[in-house]
Structure 1
Amino acid sequence: MRKIKLVILGIVSMALLSGCNLAQKEFGEVENTFKGREAVIQTYDEESNIIDQVRGKSISVTSEDKFATKDTEGNITQESSVISLTVGGKSMVHVGSSLIVYEKGLVDIFNEYSKTVDVKNTDRSIPFLNRMINDMKNITTGKSKIVLIRSQSGKPLATFAGENVSYFATEIDKSTGIIIDGKHLFVYRCDYTIYDAELLGN
């Protein structure tokens, strides 16, 4: 009986590890992550105001290597902070300000919340995120993780909730890949915190 339990435990462990490795590989090359997927690209100023929004399918995100620092042998010694994006064959180059790319199906709770509440004038005696989560129970109930994304000056710009949340390094400098319930999110030059949802309840 003990041998059977050990075998089952081993199989489960291998499945979990292979699942993690698969997810990590899936976000290992951002260039291919959004191919065939509908997604939204948004850039923000320091106050977390949306500068622009691009929607499309088959989005490619790569590091613009011509701006990378290389040694005399041509090896990259410092990755470029400039990123190149293509949307349906059309291109854009971006550097500096905060940017996120999120797959269609992910709901930006912050965007929904700010449509009904003056975010700049909320009651400071109640922490902003706690208040938002409690006000948006219809979206956050049953979710185990909350992802709060902020601009480089610390202003909230997007918030997502999910049951299964994983995060990974990418090959692009100053960026992180996050998978939320199977949907992809790419975060560039942003601060972020991932919370257990129970921490933010009443």
Structure 2
Amino acid sequence: MYFKGFEESFKGLEMTIQTYDEDSQVIDQITGRSVMIERDATFDSDAESKDSSVIKISVGSNEIHHVGSSMIIAESQLENVFEEYAKTVEAESTQRGIPVINSMVNDFRQSFDGKEKVILIRSQNGTPLATYAGNNVSLYKTDVPKSTGLLIDGQYLFIYRCDYTIYDVALVD
């Protein structure tokens, strides 16, 4: 499904932009209002291809150009449960027989109570980097290659160059 104007819908909203390295460590974080995300057509191989992976992000009257690393742009009211979870768990202590999402749901049950879906986002090498939950989750095609737009309980989430899985909460209880 393509939601025309998905990127334009961020005008006036406060959003946080985070980029991550391959180990899911935050490289940088910027918070601002009126965020606009678009493919930088300057880098398309030709006028018809629309294949540029370079994205241009406007934050108010300022710009960011980005390519390569994983990036998440989330409306400020969305809670990334994984940030708190990562502070309390050492990666070496996770058991192979128990998926990390099950451990997270069990440890942070109150964050998932009453939610229908859990979104686990991973870096390009598969390292978990963010987790969100919501009752109403919709996916949207964007004009930016290697990206997905999500609407989680009316809050916007933009995922660029990340792996992700959306689970029914009942599957991870």
Alignment size in residue pairs: 173
Partner-residue secondary structure (3-state), 1:115:
helix
Equivalent-residue separation in structure 1 for 2:160 and 2:135 (angstroms):
23
Aligned equivalent of 2:14: 38
CA deviation after TM superposition for structure 1 residue 30, in Å: 4.1
Q: Which of residues 103, 107, 110 is equivalent to 1:135?
A: 107
Determine helix, strand or coil for the equivalent of 2:156: strand
User: 1:134 Cα shift?
Assistant: 1.1
Q: Which structure: greater helix fraction?
A: 1
Superposition TM-score, scaled by structure 2 size:
0.95
Aligned to 1:79: 51
- 2:146 is aligned, of 174, 190, 194, to 174
Unaligned runs of 5+ in 2: none
Asked if the contact 2:7/2:142 (under 8 Å) is kept, the reply is: no
Q: What residue number does 2:62 align with?
A: 90
Q: Which residue of 1 aligns with 2:135?
A: 163
Aligned partner of 2:67: which letter?
A: V
How large is the Cα RMSD of the aligned pairs? 1.4
| 2-structure distance, mates of 1:152, 1:79 | 19
CA distance in 2, matches of 1:67, 1:86: 17
Say which SS state the counterpart of residue 177 (structure 1) adopts. strand
Q: Which moved more, 1:131-140 or 1:75-84?
A: 75-84
Larger Rg: 1
Distance 2:172 2:154 in 1: 23
Q: Give % identity.
A: 49
Q: Structure 1: where are the runs of 5+ without partners? A: 1-20
